[in-house]
Amino acid sequence: MEAEMREWCVALPKVELHAHLNGSVRDSTLLELAKQLGDRGVIVFEDVKDVIMKNGRSLPECFKLFDLFHILTTDHDTVTRITKEVVGDFAAENVVYLEIRTTPKNNEAKGMTKRSYMNAVLKGLKAVEDVDAVLFDSILRPDETLSRTPVGDLDGVTKKKKIYVRLLLSIDRRETTSAALDTVNLAMEMKDQGVVGIDLSGNPVVGEWETYLPALEHAKELGIPITIHCGEVPNRKEIQAVLDFCPQRLGHVCCLNDEEWKKLKSSMIPVEICLTSNVMTGGAPSLELHHFADLYNAKHPLSLCTDDSGLFSTSLSNEYYLVASTFSLSKAELFRLAQGAVEFAFVDDEVKKFLRAVFEHVARKGLMP
């Protein structure tokens, strides 16, 4: 029964709206990169290996780990490699639309600028194998799209899987106002290259809202959609400010008090729910007591997401499975959750139409009970 449900969650076409590139890297790749740097004497492999393989990650540990991941991954070729692998991994579990977010990085020692970092990401998207990763040519005939999505697999047609990929540029809370503005301007510059939005993320105990606000306001003026990590820690002042700012989407919303909770619900701002991430980092006390249930029962717009599938050893299919097993959602309800997420994507209407068609096709043909 459990195995059948897990398989069903993998077969379900899914939409991923909250996945950090460097948090989604396979352990095996991190270990391989660590081995290479160990051999060159840059790090001590044995120490790093234990850290990568350790289970259970508190919030402060996560950010120490990201500093380590960035040492392993921040050169152009490696950024290209991890992008290619991450897209391939999501496509393999029938994610049909993926918004990957990543923090463009300046790294003088590596000759890296925010722009060259993003070029390395684009190169990775173009290099995806065995999967059609659609970044630019969004206009395809519907029948072509349908025959190459996971629906094709369910129909018994073995064609390449198709995944639409778009990018969000993250502002790291450690950055200055000017660096945050650079990221927003870069997002604008890369609008025709698959960049569809801005994210605010990074260690929630670091930095001040006032530092990023000018950049977020600039993005708003430019009409760039924004998603913000909100309430990973109980920072009352900032949670208020974020809710007042009214971004297009919010991530997490863990530590809201009653008043903020009411405000969120009346705002109808779609929430990116990251179950495993929240339980591991202590944002939610347990799966059973996760605030998903309250928002779901209130019919608040929601989408299930992984956050950092590598760091938390999860997958989007597993997040759907966890919702089914913890909150007793039926397959029909899981299907509607996945389908509903299309509406919160930052992508243009043309792609949304195709994604809607994918779900309608699956429903009409009775491919998913």
Ligand X SMILES: CNc1ncnc2c1ncn2[C@@H]1O[C@H](COP(=O)(O)O)[C@@H](O)[C@H]1O
Under DSSP, the state recorded for 208 is -
| Residues within the interface to ligand X (CB under 6 A) | 20-23, 62, 66, 102-103, 170, 172, 201-202, 229, 232, 277, 281, 307-308
Q: Which is nearer to ligand X, 148 or 290 (CB)?
A: 290
Task: Answer for the pair 14, 96: CB distance below 8 angstroms, yes or no.
Answer: yes
- 89 touches which of ligand X, Zn ion, none (CB within 5 to 8 A by kind)? none
- Does residue 141 sit in helix, strand or coil? coil
172 is a site residue for Zn ion (CB under 5 A): no
User: Whole-angstrom Cα distance, residue 209 to residue 211?
Assistant: 5
Q: Which of 16, 85, 175, 232 is catalytic?
A: 232
Q: Which is nearer to Zn ion, 205 or 332 (CB)?
A: 205
99 is a site residue for Zn ion (CB under 5 A): no
Query: CB of residue 285 vs ligand X: minimum separation in angstroms?
Result: 16
User: Whole-angstrom Cα distance, residue 23 to residue 163?
Assistant: 20
- Token look-up 């001040």 returns 208
- 23 touches which of ligand X, Zn ion, none (CB within 5 to 8 A by kind)? ligand X
Among 89, 175, 260, 307, binds Zn ion (CB under 5 A): 307
Q: Which is nearer to Zn ion, 260 or 308 (CB)?
A: 308
* Residue 232 among the catalytic residues: yes
- 303 touches which of Zn ion, ligand X, none (CB within 5 to 8 A by kind)? none
Q: Which is nearer to ligand X, 24 or 94 (CB)?
A: 24
Count the neighbouring beta carbons within 10 Å of the beta carbon of residue 143.
10
E-strand stretches of the chain: 14-20, 95-102, 131-134, 161-172, 195-201, 226-230, 249-252, 271-273, 302-304
Task: Indicate the pairing of strand 161-172 with strand 95-102.
Answer: parallel
Query: CB of residue 332 vs Zn ion: minimum separation in angstroms?
Result: 29
DSSP string covering 58-106, please? -HHHHHHHHHHHHHHH-SHHHHHHHHHHHHHHHHHTTEEEEEEEE----
272 is a site residue for Zn ion (CB under 5 A): no
- 170 touches which of ligand X, Zn ion, none (CB within 5 to 8 A by kind)? ligand X
Q: Which is nearer to ligand X, 281 or 317 (CB)?
A: 281
Catalytically active residues are 232
Residues that bind Zn ion (CB under 5 A): 307
